[in-house]
Structure 1
Amino acid sequence: MKNPLLENFNKPYTTAPFNAIKNEHFKPAIIEGIKIAKDEINTIVTNNNAPTFQNTIEALEYTGEKLDRITSIFFNLNSAETNDELQKIAQEVSPLLTEFSNDIRLNEELFNKVKAVYLQKKELKLSNEQEVLLDKKYKSFSRNGANLNEEDKATLREIDTQLSQLSLKFGENALAETNNFELHITNIDLLDGLPESALEAAKMIAKSKNKEGWVFTLDYPSYIPFVTYANNRELRKKMSLAFGAKSFKGNKFDNQQIVLDIVKLRYKRANLLGYKTHANFVLEERMAENPENVLQFLNDLLEKAKPEALKQFKNLAEFAKTLDIDKLQKWDGAFVSEKLKKELFNLDQEQLKPYFKLENVIDGVFEISNRLFDLNFEEINTIDKYHEDVKTYKVTNSNGDYISVLYADFFPRKGKRNGAWMTSFKNQWIKDDKNSRPHISIVCNFTKPTETKPSLLTFNEVTTLFHEFGHALHGMLANTIYPSLSGTNVHWDFVELPSQLLENWCYEKEALSLFATHYKTNEVIPMDFVEKIKQSANFLEGLQTLRQLSFGLLDMQWHGTNPTLINNVKEFEDAAFENTKLYPNVKENCMSTSFSHIFQGGYSSGYYSYKWAEVLDADAFAYFKENGIFNKEIANKLKSNILEKGGTQKPMELYKLFRGKKPTNKALLKRAGLQE
C-alpha cells in the first residue's frame, strides 16, 4: 500500500498531505517510522570512533525526524478531528511508541556514549546552546532509568506503557461524556434571558441533529452562554451538574479508577527513579525547582487573594438575593456575576460581541504582530487542510522571508476536544546552514457563524484567541539550531509567558481601535466601552485568583504527596479544595475526572505555571506600558531574547536579558486589584 506519510512531503513548504492521508495509513507509518529511527540510533551505537558531541549528541538530536512528523500529525488529529477508528489506533500505537522511547532511554550502549561526552563537557568548548542540548540529552537518560538495574528497567517500561494507555483512555472518556449530553428544549419560554446569538446557535445544533427547537451541549460556546444568561435556574442547574459530572457517573466512561491508577503509577515511577514524589521528579526541571517552592508561591498568593475573594463572594451572595436566589450555588455563579457586572459597569458581554467579529479579531492580532514583530500573514489555499473549517496562512517578515505556516481551527465539532490550545505539525531547526521553518497550529472552540450572523466573540474568547496566538508567536518566531530546544520547548512554567503577555493588548485602547469594529456599521468600539472593559478587568479578580489557585493546589495534592492510600477521588478532591472552597459542595460533581490538563495534557505538577507566568507577564507588560505598547525596541528585546531563543538558556537568564532585572509580583498584585 502506498503510504503518503512515508513519502517526502512534496506540498508547498513541505506541509502535511492531509488530503491523501487515511486512517489506515497511520499504524503502518508509525511502525516503519520507529524502524527508521531505530536504524538511525543503531548507526550512532555501532560507530567505532570515540564519542564526540557531533557523532553522538547532535546525531541523536536529528534522529527520528520522520517519526516525529508522523506522530505530530496523528496526535494532533486525535485531539482536533478524532473518531472511533483513530482512537482505537491511538490505543494500539501508544504502547509501541512508549516501548520505542524506553528502548532509547534504557539503551546502555547509547547511554555510555552520551555519558562519555557529558563527562568531558568542560574540555569541549561548547556554545551555550550546545551545552544546554548536552545537559538535556544526558538527563533524558539519567532521569528516565538509564542507571537502573535490568529488573527495575523492565518495571519502568511496564509503568510507562500503562500510563500512556490510561492517559489516552482518560481523554477519550471525557470527550465521550461531552458528546453524549444534550439539553433539548422545544418550549421557547424555558429559554428566557438567553441572547439571540445563543438561541440561533442552539437552533443550528438542533437542525444538525434533525430535531425541532433548540439543543444545548457541553461544548463551551453552547454551555457558557446558557449558564451565564438563562433565567431558568433549574435548567442552569441541569447543565452545570452535567458539566461537573463528566466521567464521574459510574458508567463505562467513568474516570475515577483511571485517576487513581495514573497518580499511583506516577508516584511508583518517581520512587523507582529515586524521587520522593512525581512532583519532585517533574519540578527538578522547572523554574520552580521543587514542590516546596510551588506551595510557598501558591499559598503566598492565596493569603493575599483570599480576603478579597471572601469579600467578593459575600457581595455576590447578597446581590443574588435581589434576584430571588437565597443561597448562591455553582450554577448561579456565572449568571449572578454577569448581572452584577452589568449593574456596576453597565457592561454586557452581548453589547461587546458585535464589535468582535472573528475575522476582525484575527486581522487585529495579525496587525499587532506586524507592529511588534514585523510579521505579515497571507491566507493561502495551496496547502492541504485536515478539515474544511481550518484556515491556513503563510507568514513572512518585513523582508518577505518565509517564517512559518499557520493553521487556525476555530469552531467546535464532534471529533474535537473542548478548550483551546496551540500545537505544531513541524518544529523549527537549523541544519547544514538551512533554517527549516515551523508549521504551527492554534485550535479553539468559538461560536460558529449562523444563518444571519458571522462568528461574534465574547471578550473572553477574544483574550483566548490572543492567548493561543501568543503561544503561536513563540513557535513561529523560533530560531534555534536544535529542534528539541526550539519554540515552546522551554521549562513548563515559562511556556505561558508569551501567551499571557499578549492578552494584555486586548485591554488597550490603542490596540482595540485596530480591530474592534461593529460587524454591521464598521463603527470603532466606543471609547466608553473600552474604559468599561478596563474598569471591569479586575471584576471579581479575587474569586478568579482563588479558583486558579485551587486548581494548582489540587494538582500538587495529587502529585506532591504519597497517593497509595487514596481510594476515593471525590473525598480526596474535596479535602484538597477545603481551603479555597466558596460555593457549597455538589456531591454529583468531581473536577478531577475531567481535569484533562493534568491527566491527559502535560500539566501534571505544572498547573501552577499559569499563575507563575502571570507574575512574569504582568511585570513584562508593565515594561511596555511605561514605554508604549507598540515600542519597537522593547518588542525587539522580547523577540530576540525570549521568542526566538526557545529553551537554549535558563528561563530566568532569558527574562533578565529582556527586562534587565528579575520579575516581582508587584505588577500582578496591582493589576489584579489585590494591592495598591
Structure 2
Amino acid sequence: MNQNPLLQPFNTPFQSVPFDQIRQEDYREAIIQAIETARQEIAAISNNPETPTFDNTLVTREEAGRQLAVASEAFFNLNSAETSDYLQEVAEEISPLLAAFSNDINLDEALFARVKHVYEQADRTGFSTEMQRLLDKSYKHFTRNGALLSEADKQTLRQIDQELSGLTVKFSQNVLQETNAYSMHIEDEAGLEGLPASIVAQARAEAETRSLTGWVFTLQFPSYVPFLKYAANRERRKELYLASAQKAFKDNAYNNEAIIKKIVSLRDQRARLLGFASHAAFVLEERMAGTPDAVTGFLNDLLEKARPFAHQDVASLQPLAARDGLTELMPYDHAYYAEKLREEKYDYSEEALKPYFPLQQVLQAAFAAAGKLYGLSFSERTDIPTYHEEVTVYEVLEEGRHKALLYTDWHPRKGKRAGAWMTSFKGQYRNADGEHRPHISIVCNFSRPTGDTPSLLTFNEVTTLFHEFGHALHGMLADTRYESLSGTNVYWDFVELPSQFMENFCYQKEFLATFAHHYKTGELLPEAQIDKIVASANFMEGYQTLRQLAFGLLDMAYHTGGLAEQDTIEHFEKEITRSAQLYPALPHTAQSPSFSHIFAGGYSAGYYSYKWSEVLDADAFAYFKETGIFNPETAALFKTLLSKGGTEDPMDLYVAFRGRKPEVNALLQRAGLN
C-alpha cells in the first residue's frame, strides 16, 4: 500500500493537510498518481452507459479529481510561500502534466457529449439557480476550451497550453531569483541618514544573517519601501529603485523579456484558435466588463478624470525638492518627498504611527470586525500541522459552529515570493458526505519582530492585512453546493470587491479608536492623529490612480495584439504608459519583466479589475456609512452576497445587496477626484 501521506485519508483535525508528515519528494509522486486516479474517475463518467443526467454527469464531474486538487493546491501554495530549488524543479515538471490533464478533460468528446446532452435536453423546471449556473458554466467551459475544435486544432491547443504552463512557472521563478539575488550593503553610517531606527535595526539584522558588518537592504517590500520613503541619500535611493526596475530585465539567465513575448504570442494564438479576436476578448467574455472596448473605455475615462489631480500631486512635491536643490524630480524621489509632504501637511509620519499598529493587534481588530459584521470568532489551534513554524492556524466559528480554518503567514523569507495574497488548501462544498468547510490561507511580507519589538505595521500594511482578510472572508463565508462555484470562484472583476471593501474600515474613526493602541504603553492613538489619518485618506490619490491605470492599460495592450514582433519590451511599455507617465522614464528599466500578476498570476487581461472593483467597493461602503458601518441588516445583506460565491451573476448579487447597480460617483467622491 502506498504510504504517501497526500494519497491517504488525512487523520488530522478537520482533515487538514498533514504538512508535518509530507516530505518534499511526496508532492511529485502524489500529483502524478492523483492525475491517474482522476483520469479513471473522468473515464467512468465518459463511459457511463446510462443516459446523461445532471447528477450522473455534472455532479459526478464536480466530485472527480478531489485528491488531485488537494495535492496540487498544497504543492503550489508551498511553492509560493516556502519554495526550494527542488520544488521549483518539480513545478517545472508537473505544470505541463497538469495542463495536459486539463486538456484531456476539456477535449474529451464523450464527456462533452454528455454535458451537451444535459445542457440541451434536461428539464430545468426543477433546477435551482445554482444548478442552472453549474450547467451553463460547465457547457461554456468546454466550448471555451476547445471542445468544438477539429482534431488538428485540438492538438495545437494542447501544445500551446503545455508550453504556457511551463513559461508562467519559469517567469515566476526568475522574478524570485532576481529578488533574492540583490542586496545593497551599506557600511558607512552616513548612508543611513533619514532612516527610522526600526528600519536601521532591521537592516543590521539582515546583515548579521549574511555574516556582514553594517546594514543590508533588499528588494523585499519591508526593506525596499521604507528605504525609498526615508533615505536622504539620493544616489542610494536611485540604486535600489533601479535594482527593482531592472528585476528579470538584465542580461543574464533570468531575463523575462523573451518569456513575455512568447506568453503573449501563445495566448493570442490560443484565443484566435478558439474564435476570439484576442486573448482579452476571450478572457472578458466571462467578466462583468464584457469586452476590451468596455475596459479601455473605463480606464481611459478614469485617466482623464484623474490626470489633473495626479499632476497636482507631483507639483505639490516640487517646493520640498527645491529646498534640496533639485530642479527635476525622478521616479526614485517620489516616495521620499511624498512622505515629507505627508508629515508637513498632516503632521504625522507612517513610521511614527507604527508603534500603534503591532501586527497581532491589527489582526485581532480584523477578527473583531468580522465578529461584528458576520458573527464570526477566531480561536488559535496548535494541533493543526503547518508548512513552516511561522504559520499560525485559527479555527473560525459561527455561533459556536465550525466554519473554516484560517492559516496566517506574515513575514518574508528567501523561499517566499513578494507581495501579499489569499489562497486556499480546500474549498467549501456540500455532497452526500455532508458539509465540507474551507481551509483558507493569508500570506504576506510584513516586517519581522526585532529584539523585544513586535512586528509593527505601516498604515499601508494595515490596509493590506484588511485587504487580504476580505478575500479570506469571501472564502470562509462560502455557502454553496458546488466547489467550482464556491467562495472566490467568481468573475475576476468581482473578486476584489470583498477585499477592497474591508480596507474602508481602516479609515473609520470609530473603528480605529478600538484598536490603535501603543504596543508599549497601551495609549490610544491621539484623536487628533486619528483625524489626520482619516483626512489623509486621499493623499496622493491622483498619483496612485494613474499608476494603477498605467498597469491596467499595459495589460490590455499586451493582450489585444498591441505588441509587435519588432518591439522591445522597454519601448512597448513606455509607449503604452506614456499617457499616465508623471516622471521622466529611466532608460534600461521596465516593470513588465516582473509583472507577475499578468504573466504568472491570474490577472491577464484582468488587471483593470482593481479599479473596476473600487467602483463597487466605494458604492457598497457608502451604503454602510449611510446605515452605520456595523449595521446588522446591511451586514446581513453583504454576508449573503459573500456567501453565494459564483452561484449567481455578480451584478444580480450586487443589486440584491444594494437595491440598484453601482455608481461611479462614490469612488470619485471618496478619492477626491470630482
Instruction: Quickly name the TM-score band, shorter chain normalised.
Output: over 0.9
- Provide the TM-score with structure 2 as the length reference: 0.99
Q: Is the 8 A contact 1:260 1:566 kept in 2?
A: no
1:313 alignment partner, SS class: helix
For 1:105 and 1:512, locate their aligned partners in 2 and report how far apart those are by CA, in whole Å. 49
Q: Residue in 2 aligned with 1:615? A: 615
Q: List aligned pairs for 1:338-377, cutoff 5 A.
A: 338-377=339-378
Letter in 1 for 2:139: Y
Q: Residue in 2 aligned with 1:191? A: 192
- Provide the TM-score with structure 1 as the length reference: 0.99
Letter in 1 for 2:655: K
Q: Residue in 1 aligned with 2:405? A: 405
Q: Residue in 1 aligned with 2:477? A: 477
1:123, distance to aligned residue in structure 2 (A): 4.3
Say if 2:207 is the partner of 1:206: yes
Q: Residue in 2 aligned with 1:325? A: 326
Letter in 2 for 1:208: T
Q: Residue in 1 aligned with 2:248? A: 247
For 1:617 and 1:536, locate their aligned partners in 2 and report how far apart those are by CA, in whole Å. 19
Letter in 1 for 2:415: G
Q: Residue in 2 aligned with 1:500? A: 500
- Matched residue pairs, number? 673
Q: List aligned pairs for 1:579-618, cutoff 5 A.
A: 579-618=579-618
1:408 alignment partner, SS class: strand
For 1:566 and 1:4, locate their aligned partners in 2 and report how far apart those are by CA, in whole Å. 50
For 1:524 and 1:509, locate their aligned partners in 2 and report how far apart those are by CA, in whole Å. 12
Q: Residue in 1 aligned with 2:633? A: 633
For 1:179 and 1:151, locate their aligned partners in 2 and report how far apart those are by CA, in whole Å. 43
Provide Cα deviations, 1:250-309, integer angstroms capped at 9, x if missing partner: 210000000000000000000000000000000000000110100111111111101111
Q: Residue in 2 aligned with 1:261? A: 262
Q: Residue in 2 aligned with 1:275? A: 276
1:562, distance to aligned residue in structure 2 (A): 5.0
1:335, distance to aligned residue in structure 2 (A): 0.2
1:452, distance to aligned residue in structure 2 (A): 3.3
Letter in 2 for 1:665: V
1:324, distance to aligned residue in structure 2 (A): 2.4
Structure 1 window deviating more from structure 2 (485-494 vs 40-49): it is 40-49
1:434, distance to aligned residue in structure 2 (A): 1.2
2:317 alignment partner, SS class: helix
For 1:323 and 1:610, locate their aligned partners in 2 and report how far apart those are by CA, in whole Å. 36
For 2:282 and 2:213, locate their aligned partners in 1 and report how far apart those are by CA, in whole Å. 53
1:164 alignment partner, SS class: helix
Distance 1:228 1:478, change over 3 A: same
Q: Is the 8 A contact 1:118 1:135 kept in 2?
A: yes
Q: Residue in 2 aligned with 1:147? A: 148
Q: Residue in 1 aligned with 2:448? A: 448
Aligned-pair identity in percent equals 54
For 1:10 and 1:478, locate their aligned partners in 2 and report how far apart those are by CA, in whole Å. 24
Provide Cα deviations, 1:507-531, integer angstroms capped at 9, x if missing partner: 1121112211100010111111111
For 2:466 and 2:306, locate their aligned partners in 1 and report how far apart those are by CA, in whole Å. 26
Q: Is the 8 A contact 1:267 1:562 kept in 2?
A: no
Q: Residue in 2 aligned with 1:131? A: 132
Q: List aligned pairs for 1:563-578, cutoff 5 A.
A: 563=563, 565-578=565-578
Q: Is the 8 A contact 2:47 2:110 kept in 1?
A: no
2:76 alignment partner, SS class: helix
For 1:193 and 1:406, locate their aligned partners in 2 and report how far apart those are by CA, in whole Å. 38
2:379 alignment partner, SS class: strand
Q: Is the 8 A contact 2:563 2:572 kept in 1?
A: no
Distance 1:433 1:124, change over 3 A: farther
Q: Residue in 2 aligned with 1:225? A: 226
For 2:123 and 2:621, locate their aligned partners in 1 and report how far apart those are by CA, in whole Å. 38
Q: Is the 8 A contact 2:371 2:377 kept in 1?
A: yes
For 1:576 and 1:393, locate their aligned partners in 2 and report how far apart those are by CA, in whole Å. 45
Q: List aligned pairs for 1:453-468, cutoff 5 A.
A: 453-468=453-468
Q: Residue in 2 aligned with 1:660? A: 659
For 1:245 and 1:325, locate their aligned partners in 2 and report how far apart those are by CA, in whole Å. 25
For 1:25 and 1:14, locate their aligned partners in 2 and report how far apart those are by CA, in whole Å. 18
For 2:125 and 2:633, locate their aligned partners in 1 and report how far apart those are by CA, in whole Å. 36
Q: Residue in 1 aligned with 2:672? A: 673
Q: Is the 8 A contact 2:177 2:254 kept in 1?
A: yes
> For the aligned residues, what is the CA RMSD?
1.0
Structure 1 window deviating more from structure 2 (36-45 vs 496-505): it is 36-45
Q: Residue in 1 aligned with 2:102? A: 101
Say if 2:83 is the partner of 1:91: no
For 1:340 and 1:510, locate their aligned partners in 2 and report how far apart those are by CA, in whole Å. 26
Q: Residue in 2 aligned with 1:163? A: 164
For 1:446 and 1:49, locate their aligned partners in 2 and report how far apart those are by CA, in whole Å. 55
Q: Is the 8 A contact 1:620 1:659 kept in 2?
A: yes
Letter in 2 for 1:602: G
1:140, distance to aligned residue in structure 2 (A): 1.3
Say if 2:414 is the partner of 1:414: yes
Q: Is the 8 A contact 1:277 1:562 kept in 2?
A: no
1:514 alignment partner, SS class: coil
2:532 alignment partner, SS class: helix
1:121, distance to aligned residue in structure 2 (A): 4.6
For 2:364 and 2:216, locate their aligned partners in 1 and report how far apart those are by CA, in whole Å. 32
For 1:562 and 1:229, locate their aligned partners in 2 and report how far apart those are by CA, in whole Å. 38
Q: Residue in 2 aligned with 1:336? A: 337
Letter in 2 for 1:268: Q
Q: Is the 8 A contact 1:403 1:477 kept in 2?
A: yes
Say if 2:383 is the partner of 1:382: yes
1:332, distance to aligned residue in structure 2 (A): 0.4
2:222 alignment partner, SS class: helix
Letter in 2 for 1:396: L
2:450 alignment partner, SS class: coil
Distance 1:313 1:208, change over 3 A: same
Gaps of 5+ in 1: none
Q: Is the 8 A contact 1:555 1:605 kept in 2?
A: yes
Q: Residue in 2 aligned with 1:650? A: 649
1:124, distance to aligned residue in structure 2 (A): 5.1
Q: List aligned pairs for 1:69-84, cutoff 5 A.
A: 69-84=70-85
For 2:123 and 2:282, locate their aligned partners in 1 and report how far apart those are by CA, in whole Å. 26
1:347, distance to aligned residue in structure 2 (A): 1.4
1:566, distance to aligned residue in structure 2 (A): 4.6
Q: Is the 8 A contact 1:267 1:563 kept in 2?
A: no
Q: Is the 8 A contact 1:264 1:564 kept in 2?
A: no
For 1:514 and 1:444, locate their aligned partners in 2 and report how far apart those are by CA, in whole Å. 24
Q: Residue in 1 aligned with 2:308? A: 307
Q: Is the 8 A contact 1:396 1:404 kept in 2?
A: yes
Letter in 1 for 2:591: M
1:515 alignment partner, SS class: coil
1:392 alignment partner, SS class: strand
Provide Cα deviations, 1:34-79, integer angstroms capped at 9, x if missing partner: 1111111111111111100110111111110000000000000000
Provide Cα deviations, 1:448-473, integer angstroms capped at 9, x if missing partner: 00013110000000000000000000
1:420, distance to aligned residue in structure 2 (A): 0.2
Provide Cα deviations, 1:218-272, integer angstroms capped at 9, x if missing partner: 0000000101000000000000000110000121000000000000000000000
For 2:154 and 2:567, locate their aligned partners in 1 and report how far apart those are by CA, in whole Å. 28
2:478 alignment partner, SS class: coil
Say if 2:514 is the partner of 1:509: no
Distance 1:428 1:598, change over 3 A: same
1:49 alignment partner, SS class: coil
Q: Is the 8 A contact 1:480 1:486 kept in 2?
A: yes
Letter in 1 for 2:222: P
For 1:391 and 1:179, locate their aligned partners in 2 and report how far apart those are by CA, in whole Å. 25
Q: Residue in 2 aligned with 1:520? A: 520
Provide Cα deviations, 1:403-433, integer angstroms capped at 9, x if missing partner: 0000000000000000000000000001126
Q: Residue in 2 aligned with 1:540? A: 540
Letter in 2 for 1:629: I
2:571 alignment partner, SS class: helix
Structure 1 window deviating more from structure 2 (122-131 vs 602-611): it is 122-131
